[in-house]
Structure 1
């Protein structure tokens, strides 16, 4: 049986720059960086040091995607409209202040939501990253 999610993919414009951004800005650690075979395919993963069981693959749009899908993702990244990750924090305001001090670009400061406090930033490839300080809520109350 499946025990947990172990890998998610975030599409990036440049694997080296993205890896450094996730390490320097978010405090992630490198888990893998290898080039495979003659094709030059590069497999780059990072993980949060407290959760090494969930790796984030930093992948440039290309094979195994077909060219139409790869181009659509490249356009989405260039427009800053590509979704990335949801990141949990115990204190959204404090995380916002710390990340802003590190040069992270926020498109939405911490804001109250029914499910907690949320802020939205972009990584250096244009992916939207949502920081959430969750709180208990009843989803049926939103209907």
Structure 2
């Protein structure tokens, strides 16, 4: 038996604004863009992991009003779970994302548990970490 992650959702305030971060700064490609009931879901992926996708959606998309309101509150507070990407060139990736105007939370550093990583906030306030495996 094998199991793998197919996709995960990232809650954002504005899919268009978020594309500037996830597509343009991180280099993910848009795989699907679906409108439904006044909301949008934008699916992105990477050639490096063809089967894995990230779905950007607004807090109220496909949810009851009360649930969307609660999710919006958590998004506004910046307390939703972080997203962690990996790269084979942290310094180049960091500079590209910083040049996009993204809020830098942490410049690249060596972590005590092994990898070098950095951190940003996406336009909606989600924490995004990018790591590079420790060299053997």
TM-score, with length taken from structure 2: 0.83
Alignment of 1:25-64 (within 5 A): 25-36=25-36, 39-62=37-60, 64=62
Corresponding residue for residue 16 of structure 1 = 16
Q: Deviations over 1:10-36 (max 9, x none)?
A: 000012221233111111111011224
Q: Which runs of 5+ in 2 are unaligned?
A: none
> Aligned with 1:27: secondary structure?
coil
Q: Deviations over 1:23-53 (max 9, x none)?
A: 11111111011224xx334332111232231
The structure whose Rg is larger is 1
Alignment of 1:83-122 (within 5 A): 83-113=81-111, 114-122=113-121
- Matched-pair contact (CA < 8 Å) for 1:83–1:129: no
Tell me: CA distance 1:95–1:19, structure 2 relative to 1, closer, same or farther (3 Å). Answer: closer
- In 2, Cα distance between the equivalents of 1:63 and 1:34? 11
Q: Deviations over 1:38-88 (max 9, x none)?
A: x33433211123223111010111254444442232123223333341110
Number of aligned residue pairs: 135
- In 1, Cα distance between the equivalents of 2:66 and 2:110? 38
What RMSD in Å do the two structures reach over aligned CA positions? 2.3
- In 2, Cα distance between the equivalents of 1:21 and 1:48? 14
- Matched-pair contact (CA < 8 Å) for 2:78–2:125: yes
